[in-house]
Amino acid sequence: MVAPPQQAAPPVSIPLPPEPATLEQTGLTLALLADLALKTLYLRGQMTLAEIAWHLGLPIQNVVDKVMERLKGERLVEIKGGSGLSAASYLYTIVDKGAEKALQALERSHYVGRAPVTLAAYVAAVRRQTIQGISVTHGGGQ
């Protein structure tokens, strides 16, 4: 006798916080994001604005572009060119002063990767994953 096919459980989607549209919506300081971008550039070498944004897990417009403007204004990074008219293609490189600052940032924290979410955003995401109100029934498979 062949067992009836089992139904696959529906995929569980993890509720993520909404993507920030502005620097302020990240809930993080410009200094923290600048350190993270600087450490990323220091360890990876030349990167486009789009690559930096991808590594930080943040949008270019109104977030990563503001971070990179600050780093450029402080003469920690330079734009070495780009392959098009879009700012996303600008190629950034770290300069000596930026490398020194990146090393100082790495001494404070070795973390390099996606920008963290705030504790409040993390708690809200965890609360959305609650199992309250879910009914469990016997599937009857034999």
- CATH number, domain with residue 75: 1.10.10.10
Residue 15 forms part of a structural domain: no
What total of structural domains would you count in the chain? 1
Residue 48 forms part of a structural domain: yes
Residue 49 forms part of a structural domain: yes
The pLDDT, as a whole number, for residue 31 is 96
**Token pair belonging to 105:** 């940032």
**Token pair belonging to 65:** 């572009």
Query: Taking the complete model, does pTM exceed 0.85, yes or no?
Result: no
Taking phi first (over 0 means left), then psi (-120 to 50 degrees means alpha), and beta for anything else, what does residue 136 get? beta
Residue 56: in which H helix or E strand, if any?
Answer: helix 49-56
Interacting residues of 47 by C-beta distance below 8 A, sequence separation 6+: 40, 41, 55, 91, 92
Where do the DSSP E strands lie in 23-95? Answer: 47-48, 77-81, 91-94
Residue 94 forms part of a structural domain: yes
Residue 12 forms part of a structural domain: no
Q: State how far the Cα of 92 lies from the Cα of 82, in Å rounded to an integer.
A: 9
Q: State how far the Cα of 139 lies from the Cα of 1, in Å rounded to an integer.
A: 19
> Per-10-residue mean pLDDT for the chain, 142 residues long?
56 69 94 97 94 96 96 95 78 96 97 91 79 72 56
Q: Find the domain containing 65 and state its range.
A: 28-127
The pLDDT, as a whole number, for residue 44 is 95
Sheet holding 47-48, edge to edge: 47-48, 91-94, 77-81
Residue 43 forms part of a structural domain: yes
Q: State how far the Cα of 37 lies from the Cα of 52, in Å rounded to an integer.
A: 7
Residue 78 forms part of a structural domain: yes
Residue 19 forms part of a structural domain: no
DSSP 57: T
The pLDDT, as a whole number, for residue 95 is 96
